[in-house]
Amino acid sequence: MIVFYGDRTSRARRDPSMIPNNTVRAQRAYAARLSTRFGLPVIIVARPGTYGSSGNHFHRRQAAEFLALNGALDAIRKRHRIGRFVLVGQSGGATAAAALLTLGRTDISCAVLTSGAYALVERAEFLRRQNGLPSRPGRDETGLRNPYDPLAYVSGIAPDKNRLIIVIGSPEDRLTPFRFQKEFADAVEARGHRVRLTEHAAPPPLHHVLTGVGLRTAAQCATGGRGRGATVETLSGRSQIVPSKAPRGPNGQIRNILSATAL
C-alpha cells in the first residue's frame, strides 16, 4: 500500500526542525503502525519538497511532480519485487495518485482518492472567489500556469478490468469541491473503467480531511475485506510486515523482505 500525503504548504516555510514528524524515524514509525494495523506492507512516499524529498513544494501539481513520483514507484517496484500497488492519497495526495493512473501505469490494483483536487484552474478560481481574492485566469492555486490536471488526461488511464478506482469526498468540502471530484469520477467511468464514487462526511469547518477513511478503504480493497494475506514477524528486533507466502530459506528465514518503510 502506497500512501501519499496532502499538501503541506502551511509548514513549507518553517525551519525543518519545527515541522511535526519531519524525520525518517517518525515516518518509518508511522508506516510501521499502519502496517501492523492493516496487516499489509506500507510505504509512505513523500511528495517533492516534503519530508526530505528533494524538490519545491510550491511547484506542486506541475507535471514534474508526478513524473518524479512515477519514477519513485518504478524504483520501489524493482527494489522490492512488487507485483501490484494499492494507492491511497488525501487531497493533493489523491491528485498525485490520480495523475499516476493517467500516466498509464499497469501495476495498480486499487486507487483510493479522498478529497482530491481536479479541474485545477477552475477550482483555483472558485477558491479565490470564496476567499475574496482577485481572479487569476489560467493559473492554479499555486499561481503557476499549466498545472497537470488528471481530469484533462483521463484518456491516459490504462485499461484494466481488475482495477478499482474509489473516489471519496464530502459534498460540503470547502477546499476541493465535490462537484469536481464527481466530474473526475464520471470522466473515468465514461471511458469504461471501474470506478466508485462515495459521499462521506468530513469534520468541520472545512469538511475536507478523510485520511482515515481512505486508509481503511485502501486496506479493505487490498485484502478483499478479509484483512488477511500478511503476517507480522519480528526480525532483529524490528517488526516487519511480510506476505504470508513469502519465500523462505532452508532454515525458515524470510527472503526478500518488504518492510514497513517510509521513503
* pTM assigned to the model: 0.84
pLDDT per residue over 88-114, tens digit each? Answer: 999 999 999 999 999 999 999 999 999
pLDDT digits (tens, 9 = 90+) for 2-57: 999 999 876 766 777 777 877 889 999 999 999 999 999 999 999 998 887 888 88
Task: Output the pLDDT for position 256.
Answer: 30
- For residue 173, the Cα-to-chain-centroid distance in whole angstroms is 18
Domains and CATH numbers, the chain: 2-229 (3.40.50.1820)
Average pLDDT, whole number, for the chain?
86
* pLDDT tens-digit readout, 173-228: 999 999 999 999 999 999 999 999 999 999 999 999 999 999 999 999 999 876 53
Reported as a single tens digit per residue, the pLDDT across 56-72 is: 887 899 999 999 999 99
